[in-house]
């Protein structure tokens, strides 16, 4: 907006100014009532910077984000933080009798009108208060144009301001709201954009240059220089020390240099320090209309360190086609987010993607949540044997699925502790069969996993291996529930007014996901360095010098790599991969995310006492001995412990391996019947076990049996010598020939099993 002083137009004021003083008095009486005048504090509160600041929990600046791309306004600057020379120069330039009048300078208005009538140069009569009325929007002069009605409304508003605001308040507001050069609004933005310094640090030459720009913000450099030199001379004549200092050739040269710096193309500088420690959190929280500075729960020191650690790790494995990463740190007790690293900085392939909330496949990171559920349902104990042997699972519409471990070796019977600590896949799939996909999917939804939005049957057995889409934030908060003894609550808002980060409505008292005993046993397994040594070795990136529970995960085709773990105080979760979904090359959990996790958790634990969680009530400790593992003490939920202190837990679980549950077989009419057989195979079958097909005895189950298929639905049972059913499956045969119905209705339900000891 041009700052040229407005004068009454000749067309509307010719008759009115014949007797300037008398008519001016009449105009003041005719001035309409001004719009409601805000108080000074209200006007200051309305001020919205174009650049908002994100602060950490201690008030340190984490990030700055520009939310207004049309204008550049910074925080409101108090008058005492503006260079005195600039304050005086503005008064001399815009309103010489500023301290004498009540908002309207009658003498200046009359002089301007007379000069206009006499054909002289236009002289403005607008005071600082009149200009401020326009800037505050309480004068409709723009709507009324530059005619009499517009001038009268401006006069009324200025009189109201003069009556209710102090002189310092009027000048302070004007300096903060007046446009100067280009996009700069207010002296703070102009000082930093044009001269790279705060308003209190301006030199005398820079001060008069800014004051000269008020008249015509976008004037060419030569015009600005003439105006600044004239203003400096006026100040010198009035005895102002800044004007006197600028008198002479040296002052003229200083003004010329200041004008050149302010007006030359490309001279504008960033008015805000380029701090970007938390760009993804800033994008999430800083919005137009928000507070100028928003305090978060983040810790700047930790945020900076986690960012550097993650970027360094991604660079270290970049040759394996890894470009992106993310990390988050939660406080276990409060749920506050202490670090939010949404990307890997310069290495990232998509800097604006927030890896903390992006949904990816979870891999093995869901296994601890599954085993905790199985423990709570008393389907397993930490000492229960589970078969790590070849497994075929029928998948509707997809045929047969054969899960495999990352390590191709089959371990035979392993305990639940070894299966979870070593991240074995087949035992996890078998465990999901005990719990049920629907039960587990429901538990995940109760933990805030928004990507688990379909029935459990949709995911099927692959849910045990992380087929669902999860975010790093959701995973971290689920592990926080393990750290809190099975009690889940949403994470605390990142800042006041933030959307609930973990999804779902606030939960006042939390959700009890697992019993404290089940959560403790799983945490104990995840902290067991010896238990995971068969898979990861004794010394790996998962090992720490203090108590910590940790789990890695890698999704299909090595597209995502996770490491999530906790101490008594903190949860740390790290993801590495590619936002594009492109697979990595030979990146395991230990080589991908785990090194960054180890370094971050080590930084958090530095100087703290190593704290091992105490077992909750409802747990029993027993000494157990195994055929394939060292003898040890084990934790049991009360009621599931063995009856004696030393027990053997090597008895295998009898299980039908082939055919698979709900398998479908087709008879080929063109193939010789003698060459079409279905293999009946079992693992862990005791001596004397036998097969029953549709209720009829079929033969011994100690060796592989090849059965001639008949069309129809069938039920195969594995029975012991006493006739007790050890396992059963239902399957279907399709093809030519008469269908043979089963003697009893087929059932896909397995017989209930008591936990193996």
Can you give the pLDDT at residue 102? 76
Q: Residue 162 and residue 132: Cα distance in Å, rounded?
A: 11
User: Greater confidence, 435 or 153?
Assistant: 435
Please state, as a whole number, how many other Cβ atoms lie within 10 Å of the Cβ of residue 185.
24
Query: In this structure, is residue 575 part of a structural domain?
Result: yes
Query: In this structure, is residue 284 part of a structural domain?
Result: no
Do the bridges between strand 725-734 and strand 663-666 make them parallel or antiparallel, or are there none, so unpaired? parallel
Q: Which residues contact 566 (CB under 8 A, 6 or more apart)?
A: 332, 479, 480, 482, 483, 523, 548, 549, 550, 572
Question: Among 208, 234, 263, where does a domain finish?
Answer: 263
pLDDT exceeds cutoff 90 at 279: yes
Q: Residue 477 and residue 151: Cα distance in Å, rounded?
A: 62
Can you give the pLDDT at residue 35? 59
Verify that 586 and 678 share a domain, yes or no.
Answer: no
Q: Residue 683 and residue 689: Cα distance in Å, rounded?
A: 11
pLDDT classification of 119: cutoffs 50, 70, 90: low
Verify that 413 and 313 share a domain, yes or no.
Answer: yes
Query: In this structure, is residue 269 part of a structural domain?
Result: no
> CA dihedral in degrees (7, 10, 13, 16; nearest 10)?
110
Query: In this structure, is residue 277 part of a structural domain?
Result: no
Verify that 103 and 166 share a domain, yes or no.
Answer: yes
Verify that 239 and 326 share a domain, yes or no.
Answer: no
CATH of the domain at 226: 1.10.3810.10
pLDDT classification of 4: cutoffs 50, 70, 90: very low
Can you give the pLDDT at residue 10? 27
Query: In this structure, is residue 421 part of a structural domain?
Result: yes
Verify that 201 and 315 share a domain, yes or no.
Answer: no
Can you give the pLDDT at residue 480? 97
User: Greater confidence, 385 or 57?
Assistant: 57
pLDDT digits (tens, 9 = 90+) for 466-520: 889 999 999 999 999 999 999 999 999 999 777 656 555 566 668 999 999 999 9
Report the mean per-residue pLDDT for the chain. 82
Counted residue by residue, the chain has a size of 757
Which domain does 688 fall in, by range?
A: 655-734
Share of the chain above pLDDT 70, in %: 81
Could you say which DSSP state residue 252 is in?
Answer: H
Can you give the pLDDT at residue 20? 47
Most confident of 161-165, 231-235, 373-377: 373-377
Verify that 246 and 352 share a domain, yes or no.
Answer: no
Verify that 353 and 498 share a domain, yes or no.
Answer: yes
Q: Residue 102 and residue 104: Cα distance in Å, rounded?
A: 6
pLDDT exceeds cutoff 60 at 742: no
The SS3 of residue 694 is: coil
Q: Do 50 and 268 touch, CB atoms closer than 8 A?
A: no
Q: Which residues contact 635 (CB under 8 A, 6 or more apart)?
A: 382, 517, 520, 521, 524, 615, 619, 620, 621
pLDDT exceeds cutoff 80 at 731: yes
Can you give the pLDDT at residue 397? 61
Verify that 484 and 549 share a domain, yes or no.
Answer: yes
pLDDT exceeds cutoff 90 at 616: yes
Verify that 379 and 489 share a domain, yes or no.
Answer: yes
| Distance, C-alpha 153 to centroid of its chain | 50
pLDDT exceeds cutoff 50 at 3: no
Query: In this structure, is residue 648 part of a structural domain?
Result: no
Look up tokens 């906790």; give the residue. Answer: 566
Verify that 227 and 353 share a domain, yes or no.
Answer: no
Can you give the pLDDT at residue 336? 95
From the list 633, 606, 604, the residue with the least C-alpha distance to 620 is 633
Q: Residue 533 and residue 535: Cα distance in Å, rounded?
A: 5
Can you give the pLDDT at residue 13? 34
Verify that 376 and 422 share a domain, yes or no.
Answer: yes
pLDDT digits (tens, 9 = 90+) for 621-645: 988 887 666 788 899 999 998 776 5
From the list 266, 432, 280, 258, the residue with the least C-alpha distance to 342 is 280
pLDDT digits (tens, 9 = 90+) for 375-429: 999 999 999 888 888 777 766 666 667 777 766 677 778 889 999 998 899 999 9
Global confidence as pTM: 0.74
Do the bridges between strand 412-415 and strand 385-388 make them parallel or antiparallel, or are there none, so unpaired? antiparallel
Residue 694 zone, left/alpha/beta (φ > 0; ψ -120 to 50; rest): left
Can you give the pLDDT at residue 6? 31
User: Greater confidence, 74 or 538?
Assistant: 74
Q: Residue 169 and residue 129: Cα distance in Å, rounded?
A: 10
Q: Residue 260 and residue 3: Cα distance in Å, rounded?
A: 21
Query: In this structure, is residue 753 part of a structural domain?
Result: no
322-331, 497-506, 692-701: least confident range: 497-506
> CA dihedral in degrees (701, 707, 711, 715; nearest 10)?
0
pLDDT exceeds cutoff 80 at 114: no
CATH of the domain at 691: 2.60.40.10
CATH of the domain at 424: 3.40.710.10
Secondary-structure percent of the chain, ordered helix, strand, coil, rounded to 5: 35, 20, 45
Question: Among 619, 638, 671, where does a domain finish?
Answer: 619
pLDDT classification of 687: cutoffs 50, 70, 90: confident
Query: In this structure, is residue 457 part of a structural domain?
Result: yes
pLDDT digits (tens, 9 = 90+) for 643-660: 765 555 445 567 788 888
Can you give the pLDDT at residue 66? 82
Count of domains observed in the chain: 3
Verify that 659 and 615 share a domain, yes or no.
Answer: no
């Amino acid at each position: 907006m041009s700052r040229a002083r407005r004068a009454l137009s000749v067309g509307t004021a010719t008759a009115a100014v014949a007797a300037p003083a008398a008519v001016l008095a009449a105009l003041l009486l005719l001035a309409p009532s001004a719009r409601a005048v805000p108080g000074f504090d209200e006007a200051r509160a309305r001020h919205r910077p174009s650049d908002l600041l994100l602060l950490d929990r201690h008030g340190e600046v984490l990030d700055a984000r520009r939310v207004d791309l049309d204008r550049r306004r910074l925080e409101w600057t108090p008058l005492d933080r503006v260079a005195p020379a600039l304050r005086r120069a503005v008064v001399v330039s815009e309103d010489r009798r500023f301290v004498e009048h009540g908002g309207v300078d009658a003498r200046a208005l009359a002089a301007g009108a007379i000069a206009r009538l006499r054909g002289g140069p236009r002289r403005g009569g607008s005071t600082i208060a009149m200009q401020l009325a326009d800037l505050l929007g309480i004068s409709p002069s723009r709507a009324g144009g530059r005619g009499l009605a517009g001038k009268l409304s401006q006069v009324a508003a200025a009189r109201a301001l003069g009556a209710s605001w102090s002189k310092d308040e009027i000048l302070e507001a004007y300096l903060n709201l007046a446009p100067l050069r280009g996009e700069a609004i207010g002296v703070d933005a102009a000082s930093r954009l044009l001269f790279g310094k705060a308003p209190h640090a301006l030199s005398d030459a820079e001060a008069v240059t800014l004051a000269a720009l008020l008249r015509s913000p976008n004037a060419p450099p030569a015009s600005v220089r003439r105006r600044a030199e004239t203003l400096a001379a006026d100040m010198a004549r009035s005895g102002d020390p800044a004007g006197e200092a600028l008198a002479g050739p040296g002052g003229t040269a200083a003004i010329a240099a200041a004008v050149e710096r302010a007006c030359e193309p490309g001279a504008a500088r960033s008015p805000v320090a380029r701090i970007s420690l938390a760009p993804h959190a800033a994008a999430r929280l800083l919005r137009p209309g928000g507070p100028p500075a928003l305090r978060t729960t983040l810790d700047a020191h930790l945020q900076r360190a986690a960012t550097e650690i993650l970027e360094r790790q991604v660079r270290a494995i970049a040759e394996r086609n890894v470009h992106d990463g993310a990390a988050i740190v939660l406080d276990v007790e409060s749920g506050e987010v202490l670090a939010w690293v949404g990307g890997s900085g310069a290495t990232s392939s998509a800097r604006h993607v927030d890896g903390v909330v992006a949904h990816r496949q979870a891999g093995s990171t869901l296994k601890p949540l599954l085993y905790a559920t199985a423990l709570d349902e008393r389907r397993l104990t930490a000492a229960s044997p589970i078969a790590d042997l070849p497994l075929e699972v029928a998948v509707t519409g997809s045929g047969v699925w054969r899960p495999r471990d990352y390590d191709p070796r089959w371990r035979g019977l392993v305990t639940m502790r070894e299966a979870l600590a070593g991240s074995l896949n087949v035992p996890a799939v078998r465990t999901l069969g005990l719990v049920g996909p629907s039960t587990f999917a429901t538990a995940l939804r109760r933990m805030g996993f928004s990507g688990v939005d379909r029935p459990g049957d949709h995911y099927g057995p692959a849910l045990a291996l992380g087929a669902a889409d999860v975010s790093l934030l959701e995973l971290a908060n689920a592990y926080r529930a393990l750290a809190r003894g099975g009690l889940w609550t949403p994470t605390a808002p990142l800042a006041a007014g933030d959307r609930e980060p973990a999804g779902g409505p606030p939960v006042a008292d939390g959700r009890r996901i697992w019993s404290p005993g089940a959560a403790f046993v799983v945490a104990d397994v995840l902290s067991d360095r010896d238990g995971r040594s068969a898979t990861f070795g004794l010394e790996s990136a998962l090992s720490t010098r203090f108590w910590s529970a940790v789990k890695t995960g890698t999704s299909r085709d090595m597209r995502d790599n996770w490491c999530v773990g906790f101490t008594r105080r903190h949860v740390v979760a790290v993801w590495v991969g590619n936002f594009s979904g492109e697979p990595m090359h030979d990146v395991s959990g230990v080589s991908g995310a785990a090194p960054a996790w180890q370094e971050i958790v080590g930084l958090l634990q530095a100087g703290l006492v190593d704290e091992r969680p105490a077992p909750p009530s409802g747990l029993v400790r027993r000494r157990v001995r195994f055929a394939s593992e060292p003898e040890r003490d084990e934790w049991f939920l009360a009621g599931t412990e063995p009856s004696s202190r030393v027990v053997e837990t090597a008895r295998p679980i009898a299980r039908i391996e082939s055919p698979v549950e709900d398998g479908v077989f087709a008879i080929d009419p063109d193939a010789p019947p003698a060459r079409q057989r279905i293999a009946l195979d079992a693992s862990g079958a005791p001596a004397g076990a036998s097969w029953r097909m549709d209720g009829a005895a079929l033969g011994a189950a100690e060796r592989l049996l090849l059965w001639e298929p008949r069309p129809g639905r069938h039920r195969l049972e594995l029975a012991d010598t006493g006739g007790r059913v050890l396992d059963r499956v239902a399957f279907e045969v399709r093809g030519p020939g008469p269908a043979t119905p089963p003697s009893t209705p087929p059932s896909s339900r397995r017989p209930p099993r008591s936990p193996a000891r």
